[in-house]
Amino acid sequence: AQSVAQPEDQVNVAEGNPLTVKCTYSVSGNPYLFWYVQYPNRGLQFLLKYITGDNLVKGSYGFEAEFNKSQTSFHLKKPSALVSDSALYFCAVRGGGGFKTIFGAGTRLFVKA
Amino acid sequence: DVKVTQSSRYLVKRTGEKVFLECVQDMDHENMFWYRQDPGLGLRLIYFSYDVKMKEKGDIPEGYSVSREKKERFSLILESASTNQTSMYLCASSLGPGQQYEQYFGPGTRLTVT
């Protein structure tokens, strides 16, 4: 069965510092991995995805994510956090030939000025 | 840009009422989805539609039904609302059936059942 784990409910980081939001997954076959962000009282917005190829994927707003097959991880990163990055982040996976996308429980990111 | 709109941002209904949540997308996407979002549980798929008049159950379809009469519109119906259906409901669409396609979400409807 497919699953996604976001081990941290909340991540706190100071503005200007690098940030990492962790995600691990379990899926049969090749994974298709996604990150979404949700700002307060808004729907989810697509940030980036890994389909195949280069393990480092770049996305919107300066975010990037690294696919690590051996560790079954897809951590979201940004070199320098902004206060405006404060939001709820969801990791998601599709795979195994199914139509469903499985979402993690979400990680709330707080960036302090 | 893809735009997904939902008929209401906030809705308050009484137990036992029939509730309709409407979703419209403007990019001719084949696939449409209904999720509910609850704190600590992430998003859970209620129903999925891959074509007009076609639907598939998701993980939590009990108490819900859907309708897709036109490609751009996907409706979620709560046949008899109950308090445990109080939640944020998110509609999404994606370009095609392939697993590589990301989803585009509407702003959500926060439903309260009293």
Q: Mean per-residue pLDDT for A92-104?
A: 83
Per the model's pLDDT, the better-predicted residue between A101 and A80 turns out to be A80
Asked if A51 and B90 come within 8 Å (Cβ–Cβ), the reply is no
Asked if A43 lies within 8 A of B59 by C-beta distance, the reply is no
Q: Which residue of B3, B89, B102 is the best one to mutate when testing the A interface, meaning the one whose CB has the most A CBs within 10 A?
A: B102
Cα–Cα separations (whole angstroms), residue B21 to A52, A67, A72, B66, B78: 36, 37, 37, 9, 8
The pLDDT of residue B94 is above 70: yes
Q: Report the C-alpha gap between B32 and B97 in whole angstroms.
A: 10
Q: Residue B94 and residue B76: Cα distance in Å, rounded?
A: 17
Q: B47 pairs with which residues across the strands? A: B34, B57
Coil, strand or helix: which one is A54?
A: coil
CB pairs under 8 A between A and B: 56
pLDDT tens digits, one per residue of A75-90 = 999 999 999 999 999 9
CB B80 within 8 A of CB B16: yes
pLDDT, tens digit (0-9, with 9 covering 90-100), for A19-54: 999 999 998 888 899 999 999 878 899 999 999 889
3-class state of residue A5 by DSSP: strand
- Determine the residue of chain A that is closest to B108 in CA distance: A43
pLDDT at B81: 97
| Nearest-CB residue to A46 (from B48, B97, B102) | B102
Q: Across chain A, what does the average pLDDT equal?
A: 93
Within 8 A by CB and 6+ apart from B51, the residues are B30, B68, B71
Residues on chain B touching A41 (C-beta within 8 angstroms):
107-108
Cα–Cα distance, B68 to B50 (Å, whole number):
10
Across the range B67-92, mean pLDDT stands at 96
- B84 or A95, which is more confident: B84
Could you read off the pLDDT of A56-70 as tens digits, one per residue?
999 999 999 999 999
Reported as a pLDDT band with limits 50, 70 and 90, residue B2 is: low
Q: Which two tokens stand for residue A108?
A: 């709330």
Q: Residue A11: pLDDT above 80? A: yes
The per-residue pLDDT for range B22-49, each reduced to its tens digit, is 999 998 999 999 999 998 888 999 999 9
Q: How confident is the model at residue A109 (pLDDT cuts 50, 70, 90)?
A: very high
Alpha-carbon gap, residue B38 to A103, rounded angstroms = 12
- Distance of CA B96 to CAs B26, B46, B91, Å? 14, 19, 16
CA distance A56 to chain B (A): 16
CB–CB of B97 and A49 under 8 A? no
Share of chain B above pLDDT 90, in %: 80
Distance between first and last Cα of chain B:
37
